[in-house]
Chain A
Amino acid sequence: MIKVKADALQGTANILNKNGNHALLAMFGADERATSGKLAIYCLFAHPDKRDVDILKAEFDKNEDSYESLTSVIPASAWYEREIFDMFGLKPKNHPDLRPLVLHENFPEGFHPLLKTEPVDKQIRGTREYEMAVSKGEGLFEVPVGPIHAGIIEPGHFRFSQAGESMLQLDAKLFFTHRGIEKAMEGKTPFEALAMAERICGACSIANTWSYCQAVEKIAGVTVPKKAEIIRTLLLEMERLYNHVGDLGNIPAGVGFSPAISLGNKLKELLMRCNEVVTGNRFLRGMLIPGGVKFDLTEEIVTQVLATLEDVEKGFLDLVQMMEEQDEFKDRIRTTGILRYSTAKDLAMVGVGARASGIKADSRKDFKYGIYDELDFALITKEVGDVEARIQVRIEETKETLKLVRQLIEKWRTTLDVQLICEVPLKAGQAWGVTESARGNNVHWITLDDNGKIDRIFIRSASYPNWPGVAIATNGDIIPDFPLINKSFELCYACIDR
């Protein structure tokens, strides 16, 4: 860990970022006044050669409450800095857009919930300014959408600035489902807070829980039994499978391509049922725990999984061919919602959204966790960055994942260890954990205090760095294509809002 004073944060971060080649993974504040007497900002940068993370920590003296914004040198930090300002009141100087991010207009100015001086359940009412960013000019008009949408989707408010049918600008107001999970977890042991970690997000349940477990296990300095690692890896791939297949069935909904929607949804349902067979929950909840997994698989269960896989694979290939043959569908997805390589890199985007624009990053390869090093799978990238490229990445990744699940079941069969869980002593420390969710890498940072209770947890889901990219990808496209573009990224709201 590199420690600097607050005024050296920008310079040092710029060096560690290596022109964006060492992507900014996360940036967050922490209130350490009880121990060191200071507030702090942490930055995590990927270090691909070492397959590790560089940690930068800037400390703020008592009278300091501002620092030079990183956004001008690392555009990816824009949202993080807004969040830190909301949560801790540390102000980035010369930030281009310092509107509130997490706390909406019903919270008063000057309320910074993650400061230790604020009680967790403080009920505070008030008002503050929250202006949407819009373009003004002759003939331009605004289209407001949400937060309660017409379909069954999560809440977010979108404000389109329109020049006729073309979207000139899109501003997304998110964090409607902000539940204060990070604060709620403070003061609990990692075991007590486990149920909450599983419920940060439904569709990224395993990714979040595993990142969380990794951080706790690193602090404790324990090695998880081999068999548990195999099962965890299997669960993460099963999560990717139902998400990718579900997304491929959902993207056609953006253009009303019914037979594909219907088939995709049917396949997803088969996988959800399979999830329940394995873990007892359709979202794979209730199996992971710091130290390992709560229960084992059985031969009967894996046979059932393999049989489902057969059915799903067949239907999935049909779905792919269906999309392939439909020229009208191709017309809609090609050259729609283009995200450039440089944008993806500047915003440190992750997952399918980044890989479809040529970014070669996948935390299953970039970091060491689970048993991915023993498995055979390819890193999929495309260059074009349009909706079609994102569909293609998902299609090819689904094929890889089908392969992976079969390999993992074979590993499970041939690994004869019986130990599933190890003791996790709780002690003071800090650590990060990372997993590749269906949407990209998911990073957790945990600080435990002397009693082994959570002092600070920062949850950076894959959707967090990708949301700003969606707004850019829509520029210049027509507004009827927005649902299509949005679905092609398929980001969670719950994960980022926390």
Chain B
Amino acid sequence: MFKVLESIYKNKIVTEDISTTGSDRMRGKIEGTSDVLGACETICPAKAFETDGNQYAIDYKKCLFCGECVRAAQGLSHSHEDVLPEFIAATQVAVAKEITNKLGRSLNVRHVDAGSCNACDFEMGALSNPIYDLHRFGVSFVASPRHADLIMVTGTVTRNLEQALKMTYEAMPEPRLVMACGACAAGGETYGSTYAIVGAVSEVVPVDIYIPGCPPRPSTMIVGLLAAADLLKERMK
């Protein structure tokens, strides 16, 4: 009992501002150029790297941020910033600061694991820890799809979960949003196509927001959720 009280008294507030910058080794956006781009395309395990030999483009929905292309080609490097979905890149973290004015309402989120490796799920769990404290933004996780404005789907949709995902979506009230969270849910290329996999989330239910990353860092998820709150407000009009 005394330890509990002491801990509450001593530790005070540990909640931090959201930062989309990672450690010096963090693998974010791929930058630079190289003369062996073809090799990168071959080595990419998720078919995210596309090139015509001179220029390249990366499909960050699919990218696993494994770093193999950067290892294979001199000249390429990773930035240490989260890759954010394109349409929110401009607003970025500023959103977090003025969120209270923007929101005007709360966002209720339901998690659906459609076949993930549990990394995305653990990161989603981390959003509730005292450091990220998602509640401060008015975003909370709810226990039923009937209470949810948004479902956050992780994992490439498996055959064994296809029905569960559809039913969860159908149980939601309108207006409803779907977020495909992480490379498996957004791109669906992590394990290729097999007898047990249906594919990316968009093949089963309509997706509104894609969050890149394998897994996305909690900061990316929060920026995505805040963008979702904006999107929801628009839909309510």
B-contacting residues of A (Cβ < 8 Å)?
Answer: 104, 106-107, 113, 118, 120-124, 147-148, 150-155, 175-181, 183-184, 192, 194-196, 198-203, 205, 246, 259-260, 262-263, 265-266, 268-269, 272-273, 276-283, 285-286, 294, 318, 321-322, 324-326, 492-494
- Residues on B with beta carbons closer than 8 Å to the beta carbon of A278: 25
- Residues on A with beta carbons closer than 8 Å to the beta carbon of B128: 152, 265
Interface string of B144-174 (1 = CB under 8 A from A): 1100000000011011111110001000000
CB-based contact B121/A150 at 8 Å: no
CB-based contact A322/B4 at 8 Å: yes
Contact of A286 among B27, B116, B124 (CB under 8 A): B27
CB-based contact A147/B159 at 8 Å: no
Contact of A152 among B11, B26, B141 (CB under 8 A): B141
A273 to B196, CA, bound (A): 34
A177 to B153, CA, bound (A): 13
Since A152-B141, A155-B113, A177-B160 are in contact, a sample of 18 more A-B pairs with Cβ atoms closer than 8 Å, ordered by chain A residue number, is A106-B159, A106-B163, A123-B195, A151-B111, A153-B121, A155-B164, A178-B160, A179-B197, A184-B192, A199-B64, A200-B117, A260-B4, A269-B132, A272-B126, A277-B25, A280-B27, A286-B67, A294-B67
Q: Is chain A's binding surface mostly helix, strand, loop or mixed? A: loop
Nearest CB of chain B from residue A129's CB, rounded to whole Å: 15
24 contacting pairs across A/B (C-beta < 8 A): A121-B194, A148-B112, A148-B113, A152-B141, A179-B196, A179-B197, A184-B191, A199-B117, A199-B190, A199-B191, A202-B117, A202-B215, A203-B118, A262-B130, A265-B130, A266-B11, A268-B126, A269-B129, A269-B132, A276-B25, A276-B26, A280-B67, A281-B27, A318-B7
A321 to B10, CA, bound (A): 15
Nearest CB of chain A from residue B153's CB, rounded to whole Å: 11
Nearest CB of chain B from residue A427's CB, rounded to whole Å: 22
A120 to B27, CA, bound (A): 31
Q: Given A148-B164, A202-B215, A266-B129, are A120 and B194 neighbors across the interface (CB < 8 Å)?
A: yes
Contact of A154 among B2, B113, B129, B214 (CB under 8 A): B113
Q: Is B22 close to A, CB under 8 A?
A: yes
Best-surrounded residue of B4, B145, B156 (most CB of chain A within 10 A): B4
CB-based contact A265/B7 at 8 Å: no
Residue of B nearest to A275 (CB): B23
- Residues on A with beta carbons closer than 8 Å to the beta carbon of B231: none
Ordered nearest first, which 3 A-B pairs have the shortest CB separation?
A202-B119, A180-B194, A265-B129
- Residues on A with beta carbons closer than 8 Å to the beta carbon of B126: 265, 268-269, 272
CB-based contact A494/B118 at 8 Å: yes
A165 to B128, CA, bound (A): 31
Q: Is B94 close to A, CB under 8 A?
A: no
- Residues on B with beta carbons closer than 8 Å to the beta carbon of A202: 116-122, 215
